[in-house]
Amino acid sequence: MPALSDAQVDVLRKVVKDTAFRQSFIANPEQAALSSGFPVSASEAKALGKITPQAVNQLTSGLKSANIAADGTHTLLYAVAIATLIA
């Protein structure tokens, strides 16, 4: 399973925390990742593009229900959750 870069994790935090960005990501994950403001490479954006809208909604719902999305410090949980989706 490939490791996620810090930039990919930052994008995923933004997906969870920012509703408007989440909608943009669901519509076009690669473009949203590239325009996120984080230093995401084309290959990293392509990997994030494998995440389905259903997976985004499940991730967001799961993290919010676990009450950890607010501070975004749970990098390991983001990485594990998403690595399984893009592996």
Quote the domain boundaries for residue 17: 6-86
Q: Mind listing the pLDDT tens digit for each residue in 41-66?
A: 999 999 999 888 988 887 777 666 55
Residue with tokens 């909608």: 23
Task: Judge whether 64 lies within some domain.
Answer: yes
Token couple for 42 = 């084309």
- Taking 50 as the pLDDT cut, the residues of the chain under it are 1, 69
Tokens of 19: 């509703």
* Phi, psi for 73 (deg, rounded to 5): -90, -5
pLDDT confidence of residue 52: 87
Is 11 in contact with 40 (CB distance < 8 Å)?
Answer: yes
Length of the chain: 87
Q: To the nearest 10°, report the CA torsion of 78, 79, 82, 85.
A: -150
Give the total number of structural domains in the chain. Answer: 1
Q: What is the pLDDT of residue 63?
A: 63
The tokens for 39 are: 């230093």
Q: 1 lies in a domain?
A: no
